[in-house]
Structure 1
Amino acid sequence: MGVVATLGLWAAGAADLPDNAFPRVVAATVVTAVGGTIELSGNAGGLAESDAGLTVIPLSVTLAGALVLAAGFLRPLRHRAVAGAGELAGWAVRIAALWLVALLALALAASQTFSLSLRDLGEDALGDLGDLFGISPEVGFTTHIPATLFFGLLWLAGVLVLALLVSRGAPLPGRLLRFQESVRPAAYAMVALLLAYVVLGVVIGLVVAATRGHAAETFAVILLGLPNLAWLALTIGLGATWNGRVDGPFGLPMPQVLDEVLRGREAAELNLGTLAEHDGRVWWLVAVDAVLLLAAAFVMARRSPARIRAWQHSVHMAVALALTVLMICLVGRTSAHYGLSVLGIGDLGGDLGGELFLRPEVWGAIGLALLWGLVTGLLGGLPAKRVRHRGEVPPRVEG
């Protein structure tokens, strides 16, 4: 996770931050990637007022950490048919102990304060006031350690449980074996779906970097927030709506069409309709969703026992996709704001402020996911009846 965060921030230009702040920004990025809480602070003196806040999860860093931790957890358990709950809990506790130590070290390191120049804000009046009264605003960030440790441990537990659900070769306690026929194929299919969108996003990003320039910025997006964009596209292709706004100097590390829709003084809806008004190619998201969801449904059905009926595949796919979309809605929220006022010049929410937020309409997205899951689960499961399922022994032919 540290390597991915370091490379992504370096590509974004964070290595040039003053006061040797780069390592601390890397630590803060890793902390936010696992659900930790970073608190922004500002101090502009008695003659000024400042306000800032940031909520975002760099999901590229999150995904890298999840894949590495899951692989490390499953490696000693491979080639086992059944494992006791105590043994699994023992391995999980060992990993959790090391994880908490590392997370505590990162949380303690993720703290920094920067000094700002009022003239850099582009307002001559503020610059003159700053020189006259000696005003030098400071902004910084610190980590809320208890919340970081709690959510980091919760994130680790989710990763380990999901690893057990997805891996066909991982052992389960005897009492849970009856659930693996319905849960494991669906969980595997959803993880494969999410990774397929990430891979597709990487390919598109590399093409953009090679043909349109801005390679450093593109690699920064790939290494820090590619799943944020790829999984957003998945939900929009389903027909979901996100509400958002971009105001002030904030910019979104995503296609220009999204910034065009969201930039303005009021909140805007982000969906297929609003995006198509700016670029008709957005309708291809529907086709991509249809193809990849059918493929995921086929994979799920093929990994399921042959006795599972078509309507059961449909229900399993609907529930799994709804839970997946809910997860995307929870981790894909973005919010950032800042403001500065000096002697009444400027406004915490006005010209010297900025705001960015992106929030989903959760229940509508889940409802659409259930509908898509029912249809694609049924259609994708039908051709799986004609192929041999995983683990199935072919019938013996009498000579």
Structure 2
Amino acid sequence: MSRHEPPASRPVLGPARGWLHALGVVVAGFAVMLVVAALGLWLAGASELPQGALVPVIAATVVMAVGGRVALDGGAGFIAETQAAIVVVPLSVALAGALVTAYAFLRPLRSHAVLSGGHLLRIVLRTALLWVVALLLIVHGARHSFSLSAGNEYLDEIAQLLGTTPTVGFHALVGTTVGLGLLWLLVVLLIALAVSRRVPLPPRLAPPQATVRPAARAMVAVLLVYVVAAAIIALVTADTRTDAGDTLAVVFLGLPNLAWLAFGLGLGASWHGHVKGAIGLPMPEPLARVLRTGGDGDVTLDLASLTRQDGRAWWLLVAAAVAMLLAGWAAARRAPPGAGHLRNAVRLALTAAAAMLLIGLLTWIDAHYGLSLFGIGDPSDTGGLGGSVVLVPDLAAAVGLAAGWGAVTGFLGSLVARPRRRRTGPDGTDAVSVSRPPDPRSP
């Protein structure tokens, strides 16, 4: 091949390099998730778990981070029966994995001028295949059971003879984890391709991407800024508290859960749920107080109920309004030529609605455990001998509110950004030009 041959005719990734590229994406994504999960669990005190449970717990955390499911079980023969379940996404682990996976996937594609649809499909399929293999390995490691001591050697020996030694265990659900984990990967790659300005998409996909990209990039930026702001607040809080390890554990495990919940509350969205007993899932004290006020029933978590516990919560409304106005301005500045105010408003409305849908699904929490002794009590009853944390979004209302915010701020942002225009260069990247009156001396 001549060194002067145009880039458009060069192969993007040959078969060997393509598999290496896919392997690098998968290894990088899972490696960072394992590291972040390990740090968070270590800070939370999981290193003290008995019988070598730390490594399986790390694997289970990664499984939940990519949307998989982990089943909990345990019991003590005929003496006791337990029932437990957990549905929660550790979004710090998930976000770290998503960012690294997207970067590793896009980076080799940016230096080429042409990427055909077939070649892009092959790249995605290679990555997906290796991703499933890695998921199966993680699922195999996310399995553990260990016995609990009664604290007395004599009682432990009796329990062992009677076959009633208390046990607690967990295992990842293979089919559900592989399916949802693969969907997680495809959503991450889709968002990465939608917001990237330097990857040469196939000609059929370039126009839709140019339409979607400005609003999508603006909303992604809003969500990341919220996480960064929450991290700064958490670090300042950790520096002033004696239990800094617990605060840092939240940073490495569930910081985006709280940051994006705050964003949704600021937009007017609401969740319902409760906290009963002691589950061990860390959350800010005002949030916990709201969820404990319902007694035996669920309560509504919204900006008003949170403000009754902490008056500073009204600042969430101000923060959300400012963030959405900036998103509308940024999206309008990068809009394709000829995009009017109404189109900019509709695009940001749809993007904000999609973002809120993801936030609602990702902040969904359902964790509970129950215990029955000698047949007395119901293991599915989380009162008394159990506990539960439930936080379920009102999705329809939340998505509608986000769409309304997107429409209004998209229109206002377009009005403010009107003097600037964006045009698409010959290589598919954005080029900025500032609207000026025509020069009367020009022909």
Q: Name the TM-score class by shorter chain.
A: over 0.9
| Residues 1:300 and 2:340 aligned together | no
Q: 1:268 aligns with which of 299, 308, 312?
A: 299
Q: 1:38 aligns with which of 67, 70, 74?
A: 70
Q: Report 1:239-258 matches (<5 A).
A: 239-258=268-287
Inter-partner Cα distance in structure 1 for 2:227 and 2:306? 21
Q: 1:184 to 1:82 in 2, by over 3 A?
A: farther
Contact 2:77/2:163, CA 8 A, preserved across alignment = no
Inter-partner Cα distance in structure 1 for 2:284 and 2:251? 13
Contact 2:342/2:411, CA 8 A, preserved across alignment = yes
Q: In the TM superposition, what is the alpha-carbon distance from 1:335 to its structure 2 partner?
A: 0.7
- Partner deviation per Cα, 1:330-371 (whole Å, 9 max, x = no partner): 111001111111114454323111111100111111111111
Contact 1:314/1:374, CA 8 A, preserved across alignment = yes
Q: In the TM superposition, what is the alpha-carbon distance from 1:192 to its structure 2 partner?
A: 0.8
Inter-partner Cα distance in structure 1 for 2:160 and 2:113? 72
- Sequence identity, in percent? 50
Query: Gapped runs of 5+ residues in structure 1?
Result: 121-125
The alignment partner of 1:181 has SS state of: helix
| Residues 1:391 and 2:423 aligned together | no
Q: Report 1:223-372 matches (<5 A).
A: 223-263=252-292, 264-348=295-379, 349=381, 350-372=383-405
Inter-partner Cα distance in structure 1 for 2:233 and 2:371? 38
The alignment partner of 1:43 has SS state of: strand
Contact 2:279/2:388, CA 8 A, preserved across alignment = yes
Q: Report 1:9-48 matches (<5 A).
A: 9-48=41-80
Contact 1:33/1:57, CA 8 A, preserved across alignment = yes
Greater alpha carbon shift after TM alignment, 36-45 vs 334-343: 36-45
| Residues 1:380 and 2:413 aligned together | yes
| Residues 1:149 and 2:178 aligned together | yes
Inter-partner Cα distance in structure 2 for 1:213 and 1:84? 56
The count of residues paired between Structure 1 and Structure 2 equals 393
Q: 2:123 aligns with which of 91, 94, 103?
A: 91
Contact 1:8/1:219, CA 8 A, preserved across alignment = yes
Greater alpha carbon shift after TM alignment, 12-21 vs 73-82: 73-82
Which AA in structure 2 matches 1:7?
A: L
Greater alpha carbon shift after TM alignment, 91-100 vs 132-141: 132-141
* Other-structure match for 2:219: 190
* Other-structure match for 1:79: 111
Contact 1:80/1:169, CA 8 A, preserved across alignment = no
Contact 2:78/2:374, CA 8 A, preserved across alignment = no
TM-score (ref. length: structure 2): 0.84
Contact 1:306/1:385, CA 8 A, preserved across alignment = no
Contact 2:365/2:392, CA 8 A, preserved across alignment = yes
Q: 1:230 to 1:182 in 2, by over 3 A?
A: same
Which AA in structure 1 matches 2:321?
A: A
Q: In the TM superposition, what is the alpha-carbon distance from 1:319 to its structure 2 partner?
A: 0.6
The alignment partner of 2:278 has SS state of: coil
Q: In the TM superposition, what is the alpha-carbon distance from 1:12 to its structure 2 partner?
A: 0.6
Q: 1:211 aligns with which of 240, 245, 270?
A: 240
Q: In the TM superposition, what is the alpha-carbon distance from 1:116 to its structure 2 partner?
A: 2.7
Task: Provide the aligned C-alpha RMSD in A.
Answer: 2.2
The alignment partner of 1:336 has SS state of: strand
Q: In the TM superposition, what is the alpha-carbon distance from 1:111 to its structure 2 partner?
A: 0.5
| Residues 1:3 and 2:35 aligned together | yes
Q: In the TM superposition, what is the alpha-carbon distance from 1:388 to its structure 2 partner?
A: 5.0
Inter-partner Cα distance in structure 2 for 1:249 and 1:136? 23
Query: Gapped runs of 5+ residues in structure 2?
Result: 1-32, 423-429
TM-score (ref. length: structure 1): 0.93
* Other-structure match for 1:166: 195
The alignment partner of 2:81 has SS state of: strand
Inter-partner Cα distance in structure 2 for 1:214 and 1:379? 44
